[in-house]
Structure 1
Amino acid sequence: MNFQTYAELWRIPDVRRILVLGVFLRIPMPASAVIVTLHVVGPLDRSYAEAGLVSTVLAIAMAISNPWLGRLLDRVGLRRTVLLPLTVLPFAWSIAPWVGYVPLLGLVAAAGLFTVPSFSIVRQVMLRSVGPGKRTAALSADSVMTELCFMVGPLIGVLGASYLGTSWALLLIQWLGILAAVVLWLFNPTITEGEPALPADAAPLTTASATRRTRLPSWVNPGVTLLLIGTFSASLILVAEDLGTVAAMREFERTTLLGLVMAIWASGSLIGAIVYGALNRHPSAAVMLVLLGATTVLTAFAWGPISFTALLLLSGFFCAPSLTAALEAITSNVPSTVRGEVMGWHGSAITLGSAVGAPTAGYAIDLTGWQGGFLFGGGLGLLIAGAVWFTTRRMSTPAEASLPSGERSPAAAE
C-alpha cells in the first residue's frame, strides 16, 4: 500500500488543476437536486411525486446525452464540445427558477441533454496526465473528490434555499457550474494522449467480422459490455441502499440521525476509494462488485441503529472502489480516441441503474419493510456481479497466465 502515490499525483499541474476545477463543475449537481425538490414542493406547491418526476426527467436526459457528448469529445475536441452546453445552459437555468412546473420540466430536460460532460472530461485529463501504473490511483483520487462534492453539495443547496430562497439559490448554483465550464473552455486541457495499442484480446477485426459488426462501435466487446452491466448493478445497489437507509432510520425512530448516518456511509466510500487507490495490487471489478452486493445483503440483518450504521459503513467501503475498478478496467480496454464515448456509456449505466433501482427498491421496501431494499438491491446486484465474475473467469485466456506478476489483460474484469 502506497499513499505517496497521491502526493505524486498532486504534483502534476494538469491533475491538480482539473481536480480543483472538477469540484466547481460537479457541486451544482447534488446541490441543485436538493434545491429543485424544495422548489417544487415549496414555491410551486406540488407533491413530492412531482418533484421526483423532475429528477427522473433530468436523469433520462443525462443518460441520453452522456454517450453522444462523449462521442463529440472524441471527434471534435473539448472546446467545441463544451461550447454547445455553454450556448444552452445559461438560457435554460436563467429561466427555469422563475417558471411554473410544466415549463420547468421542459427546461430541465433541455439542460440535462446539454449538461457539460464533466465526469468524462476530468477522468480523461487524469488518465492522460499519468502513467499506466497510476491510473487506478488517479481514478480513485477523482472518486474521493466526487464523494466530497456529493457530501458538500446538498448542504450548500439547503443553506442556499434557506437564506436566499429556492429560485435565487438555483440560479446562483447553476451559474457557478456555468462559470466553471467557461474556465474549463479557456483552460482547454488535452484529453487524449494519442492512440494506444489495443489489448491482446481486442485483435483487429477481419473483413467478415467487420461486416457483421458495422452497426456497432469498434470498441464494443464482451469485456466492456460485462463491465457496463456491472456498473449498472453497482448503481442499482447504491440507490437501494439509499432508500433502505431512509426507511430503516424511520423504522428505528431515529430520523433526526439520518443525515449523520448518510455522512458515515459516504465517509466509508471515501475511505474505501483512498485505500483502493493506494493498494499495490488491485482486486478486480467483479470481486469488488461481489463484496459490495454481499455487504449490502448483510446490512439487512442489523438489529438496531448502531449495528445498522456499522454494517452500512462496511458496505460503503466498497461503493466507490467498485465503480472505480469497473471504470479503470473499461478505459484500459479501449483506445484513448473513444474514451469520451465509452465514459459516456459508463455514466449512462450509472444513471439507468438508479432509474431502475429506485422504483423497484421502493416497491420491495413497501412490501417487506426496510430490509427489503437491502435484500433486493444487494441480492440482485450480487447475482449480476456473480454472473460477471463467472463469465470473465470463463473468458480468461491462457495468455494471461504468462503475464508478469501484477499485470493482466485489462479486458478481464477479474
Structure 2
Amino acid sequence: MNLKPYRHALALPGVRSLLLVSSLARIPLTATSVVLTLYVVTDLGQTYAAAGVVGATMTIGMAIGQPLLGRLIDRRGLRPALLLATIGGAVFWGTTRFMPYPVLVGTALLGGILALPLSSVVRQSIAALVPEGERRQAYALDSMTTELSFMVGPSLAVLLVTTGSARATMAMVGGGLVLAGLALIALNPPVRGHDEPAVASDRRLSRRDWLTPRLIGVMAIGAASTLVLAGADISIIAALQDANQVAWTGVVLALWSAASLVGGFSYGAMAQPPSLLRLALLLGLCTIPVGLASGQWWLLALALLPSGLMCAPTLTASANAVSRLVPAVVRGEAMGLYGSALTVGLALGAPFAGAVIDRSGPGWGFAAIGTLGTLVALTVLAGQLRQARRAGGTSVVPASPDPATPLASDQAA
C-alpha cells in the first residue's frame, strides 16, 4: 500500500489546517439531530414521531439551502455566505430552546436553510487546494475525518443530555456551531484555484451547460449511498433490539465505522482504485444479506464489515467526480446540490427501512435498502452505457478520481 500520495496531499499548503478545522467543526454539526430529538421528546413531552417531523423539516431546509449558499459563494465569495450561515445559526440555536413545538417545526425549516454548509465548503476548498491528480487522497482524508466526527458528536451529545439537560446541550451545540463558522471565516480557505477566477463573472452559466446526465448520475449514486447508510443504521438498531442485545449497539456501530475508515484509507492509497459504480454496486450488494446474521451482535458486526469497507470509498469517489465534472465558477452551487443529494438520501433511508422493518422484520430492512441502492447504481450504469453507444464508443467518459477508474466502463458491465 502506497502512502506517498497521502503525504503529498497533506504537504500541500492549506490542506492540513482545512482538515483540522473541519474535523472539529463537524462535532457539533453531527450532534444536532440527536439533540433536537431528545429535546422534543424529553423537554417538550412530544413523541418520537413528532421529533421526526422537526428533523425532517430541518432536513428539507438543508436540501434547499445548500445550493443557494453555494451559489452565493460562487457569486460573492466564501465569507459572506459563512457570515450569513453563522448569524442564522446563532439566532436559531439561541432561541430554539424557548420555542413551543409548533413554532419549532416552522423555524426548523429556516434553521436548515441557513445551516452551516461545512461539507460543501470543505469539498469545494479541496478542489481548489489540491491538483486534480491528488484529490482522491484528499477527499479520502475528508471522509475519514468525517467518520471520526460522527463517532464522537452524537455520543457526546447523548452523554451531555443524560448527565445535564437537553436545553443546556442545545446551547452548547449552538455555541459550537457559531465557533465553527467563525473559525472557517478566519481560516477563509480558497474556493478557487490560483488559475481560476475568485468569483463568478457577470456572465452566468446556464445549469444546462454543467448539470449533465453524468453529473446527475453521480449525485444519484451519492443519494443512494447515504440512503443505504441511513437505512442500515436503523436496521442495525432494530436487529439488535429484536435479539435483545441493544446494549451492544454502540460496539456494532463503532466496528462498522472502523471498517469505513479502513476502506477509505485503503481506497486513497490504491494505485488502481475501483470505479465509482463498482463501489456503489458493492455497497448495495454487500448490504443485502446482512440481516441473515442478525441473531448475535458479533455475527451482525462481522456481516457489516464488507459494506462498511465500501462506505467511505463510495462517498470519496462521488465527491471527487463532482469536482471534476463542473466548471470552477459553479463549483459552489454544484457541491451544494451534491450535498442536497446526500441529505435527501439520509432523510429517506431511515423511514424507508423503518417501514420495511415494521412489516417484515429487521433482516428485510437490510435487504430492501441494499436492493434499492443496487438498483440505482444499475440504472446509472445503464444510462452511462446508453450514452456511450450513442457517442459511438465502448466506454463512458471518465467521471471518477483517476483516468484509470471511470464512472462506468464496458468492463464494469
TM-score scaled by length of structure 1: 0.90
Q: CA deviation at 1:65?
A: 0.6
Structure 1 counterpart SS, 2:265: helix
Instruction: Summarize deviations over 1:133-182 as a string: whole Å, max 9, x none.
Output: 11111101000010011100012101221333111111112211211211
Counterpart CA distance in 2 for 1:374 and 1:402 is 33
1:2 aligns with 2:11: no
| Aligned counterpart, 1:351 | 343
2:365 maps to 373
Amino acid at match of 2:90: P
Aligned residues: 395
**CA offsets 1:34-67 (integer angstroms, 9 cap, x no match):** 2221111111111111111111111111001111
1:92 matched residue in structure 2: 92
Q: Report what 1:408 is aligned to.
A: 403
Alignment of 1:14-413 (within 5 A): 14-193=14-193, 216-302=207-293, 304-305=295-296, 306-396=298-388, 398=393, 408=403, 412-413=407-408
Q: Is 1:400–1:409's contact at 8 Å kept on the other side of the alignment? A: no
Report the 3-state secondary structure (helix = DSSP H, G, I; strand = E; otherwise coil) of the residue aligned with 1:24: helix
Identify if the C-alpha distance between structure 1 residues 409 and 75 changes in structure 2 by more than 3 Å, giving closer, same or farther: farther
Aligned residue identity for 1:381: G
**Could you tell me which residue of structure 1 aligns to residue 199 of structure 2?**
none
Indicate the percent of aligned positions where both proteins have the same amino acid.
Answer: 35
How far apart are the structure 1 equivalents of 2:360 and 2:301?
A: 20
CA offsets 1:176-209 (integer angstroms, 9 cap, x no match): 121121121122221111677xxxxxxxxxxxxx
CA RMSD of aligned residues (A): 2.2
Contact 1:364–1:376 (8 Å) recurs in 2: yes
Contact 1:333 1:410 in 2 (8 A): no
Q: Alpha carbons of 1:145 and 1:287: their partners in 2 closer, same or farther (altered >3 Å)?
A: same
Structure 2 residue matching 1:318: 3-state secondary structure = helix
Contact 2:5-2:134 within 8 A present in 1 as well: yes
In 2, the alpha carbon distance for the partners of 1:356 and 1:23 equals 26
Mapped to 2, the partners of 1:230 and 1:159 lie a distance apart of 34
CA contact (8 A) 2:140 2:267 kept: yes
**Runs of 5+ unmatched residues, structure 2:** 197-204
Q: State whether residues 277 and 407 of structure 2, in contact with CA within 8 Å, keep that contact through their aligned partners in structure 1.
A: no
SS in 1 for 2:190: coil
Q: When the two structures are superposed, what TM-score results if normalisation uses the length of structure 2? A: 0.90
Deviations 1:262-312 (A, max 9, x none): 111111111111111111122111110000010001212225323221111
Partners of 2:289 and 2:18 in 1: CA distance: 38
